[in-house]
Amino acid sequence: MNTWNTFDSRFSYYPELGLSLDLSRVRYPERFLSDMEPRMQSALAAMKDLEAGAIANPDENRMVGHYWLRNPELAPSAELCKEVKETVDRIEALAVRVHKKELKGQGGVFRNLLVIGIGGSALGPQFVSQALQNPSGDPMKVYFFDNTDPDGIDLVLAELRPSLGQTLCLVISKSGGTPETRNGMLEAEYAYQKAGLDFGKHAIAVTGVGSKLDSYAISNGWLERFPMWDWVGGRTSELGPVGLLPAALQGISIRGMLAGAACMDALTRSMETANNPAAMMALMWYYLTDGRGSKDMVVLPYKDRLVLFSKYLQQLIMESIGKELDLDGKVVNQGIAVYGNKGSTDQHAYVQQLREGLHNFFVVFIEVLREREGFSVDVESGTTSGDFLQGFYLGTRDALFEKGRESITITARQVDPETVGALIALFERSVGLYAHLVNINAYHQPGVEAGKKAASTILNLKKQVDDCMKSRKGAFLDVPAIAAAIGQPEACELVYKVLVARVVNYPDSFKAEEIGVPSKARFSFVD
């Protein structure tokens, strides 16, 4: 089959969304689709059951209902349907009050939005904010606390401090106990208090009903509270209050995002595999990674607005698919690593290795046809900057294919709310179908929970070290002695690292000798 015929037969266009899927640069044999058809039909049936309210997350005995966010009529009860619809209406109503200057801060009209969250409570909002921003027309400028890095927090506050009284804060955490988010909230609260402002008059919570954050917001008189439902996971929450509220406040059409997602959901419900873009994409992932994650996914959007899409997809794909055990309890160590930035920038960063180095990846190109709104100047006779961008994309794709490097291309007419919603839905559905093909639970994250527990252990050790040093004020102690004193002689390395950080951050209280040689280092606490 020649290149043109392959392209013609493996190219699919979806006019409802102005999107196309090109699989012509994947060298799968035709028999692959027929061989996989029974398994894909099983996956599609399981997806149908999931949307109907089946317990799709057996580990946590939960339904998985993020598809109901853009089509509430699918929800398994009239009560849930009503709640989702009313929540979207409340989000829009709040945004209107802010934009009409009816809801203000103590310093006047809300002009800034500070979103405090981490993981799924930040990655989606960041991606959407960047993708759909209109710097000259957005009614609010968006900032993020998305980590517990004090220096990063200070960088954001340095910009916001002069206008904190005009800054609305969204604090997003399902449990209300996520340390990074809690820390960001307390840092923000302190900054407001220091500026003589009441934080509660500038704060909104997006959280689980009855959570620690919910109770805190009530007791401190926050402006509003919006729900996070237990049937929506963090990495699939962008089209719920987590993502819709900051988008609406920024001035983005959330109805457009929901409509695009709903349209893609409808397309990906098709039981005809060849006509289902998510089914075909999941099958390509399976083929390209041997059904066991043998290759990484490099996401290259040729559009600056989509630069954060690969970062968003890292969590969606890696947290969903990266699992030690399958549904039968068998050790499988599944996963697809995701990385990428944007074209053509990355052509100058790592395309050299992609073309000639270790063949441990496949590429997902994202092409956007519309160059910009308005006139494009010629940078050469008859050629615009956008022409160059497309040329670099097509050239890179061909250069990689010449060396046996395969790729998938998604082409969008433009970047608008409908397109963004559709892209989110396409990858969500692809993840779910792929997970079924490899027999894993896509909707839990035991590794994340293990990491949180480990971090808690370290924090407890820090407190023990501090107490030990204070109780032996003025004495210089080596690391094994300190570790033994707190009853953790095996934790010498951790004790050393904790104390080095203490010396750097609290030089008036913590002193050290020969700090650069762990076995010789001695530490002391002084008043």
Which has more confidence, 95 or 452?
Answer: 95
Final residue before a domain boundary, out of 202, 228, 252 = 252
Which CATH number does the domain housing residue 460 bear? Answer: 1.10.10
Q: Looking at the structure, do residues 453 and 400 belong to the same domain, yes or no? A: no
Q: What is the pLDDT of residue 350?
A: 82
Handedness of CA 269, 274, 277, 280 (dihedral sign): positive
Q: Looking at the structure, do residues 193 and 128 belong to the same domain, yes or no? A: yes
Q: Looking at the structure, do residues 198 and 286 belong to the same domain, yes or no? A: no
Final residue before a domain boundary, out of 421, 444, 467 = 444
Q: Looking at the structure, do residues 339 and 412 belong to the same domain, yes or no? A: yes
State yes or no: pLDDT of 346 exceeds 90.
no
Planar angle of CA 384, 385, 387, nearest 5 degrees: 65
- Percentage of the chain lying above the pLDDT 70 cut: 99
Give helix 254-267 / helix 241-250 axis angle, nearest 10°: 140
Residues 140-145 have a mean pLDDT of 98
How is residue 166 annotated by DSSP?
Answer: G
Q: Looking at the structure, do residues 427 and 463 belong to the same domain, yes or no? A: no
The reply to whether 56 falls in a domain is: no
Cα separation of 94 and 92, whole Å? Answer: 5
The long-range contacts involving 206-210, CB below 8 angstroms and separated by at least 24 positions, are 206/121, 206/170, 206/171, 206/172, 206/173, 206/241, 206/242, 206/245, 207/171, 207/172, 207/173, 207/174, 207/175, 207/176, 208/174, 208/175, 208/176
Q: Looking at the structure, do residues 141 and 269 belong to the same domain, yes or no? A: no
The reply to whether 57 falls in a domain is: no
Residues 360-378 have a mean pLDDT of 95
Q: Looking at the structure, do residues 83 and 165 belong to the same domain, yes or no? A: yes
| Residues 85-104: tens digit of each pLDDT | 999 999 999 999 999 999 99
| Residues 413-436: tens digit of each pLDDT | 999 999 999 999 999 999 999 999
Catalytic residue among 187, 319, 367, 418: 319
Catalytic residue among 30, 73, 272, 348: 348
Domain residues for the domain of 42 are 3-51+258-444
| Residues 494-520: tens digit of each pLDDT | 999 999 999 999 999 999 999 999 999
State yes or no: pLDDT of 320 exceeds 70.
yes
The reply to whether 285 falls in a domain is: yes
Q: Looking at the structure, do residues 294 and 327 belong to the same domain, yes or no? A: yes
The reply to whether 149 falls in a domain is: yes
The reply to whether 181 falls in a domain is: yes
The reply to whether 245 falls in a domain is: yes
Give helix 417-437 / helix 123-132 axis angle, nearest 10°: 140
Which CATH number does the domain housing residue 112 bear? Answer: 3.40.50.10490
Catalytic residue among 201, 212, 452, 511: 452
Both structure tokens of 111: 């002009």
Final residue before a domain boundary, out of 444, 476, 491 = 444
Q: Looking at the structure, do residues 371 and 287 belong to the same domain, yes or no? A: yes
The reply to whether 61 falls in a domain is: no
CB-based burial label for 503 (10 Å; 0-12, 13-18, 19+):
middle
| Residues 454-491: tens digit of each pLDDT | 778 888 999 999 999 999 999 999 999 999 999 999 99
Q: Looking at the structure, do residues 158 and 297 belong to the same domain, yes or no? A: no
Write down the H helix ranges in 133-268. 150-160, 179-194, 212-219, 241-250, 254-267
Q: Looking at the structure, do residues 40 and 104 belong to the same domain, yes or no? A: no
Q: Is 359 known to be catalytic?
A: no
Q: What is the pLDDT of residue 204?
A: 98
Cα 260 to the chain's mean position, in Å? 19
Domain count, the chain: 3
Q: Is 452 known to be catalytic?
A: yes
Q: What is the pLDDT of residue 62?
A: 84
Residue 344 makes CB contacts below 8 A (sequence gap 6+) with: 302, 388, 389, 392, 393, 396
The reply to whether 59 falls in a domain is: no
Q: Is 348 known to be catalytic?
A: yes
| Residues 99-121: tens digit of each pLDDT | 999 999 999 999 999 999 999 99
State yes or no: pLDDT of 1 exceeds 70.
no
Q: Looking at the structure, do residues 28 and 41 belong to the same domain, yes or no? A: yes
Q: Is the pTM of this model over 0.85?
A: yes
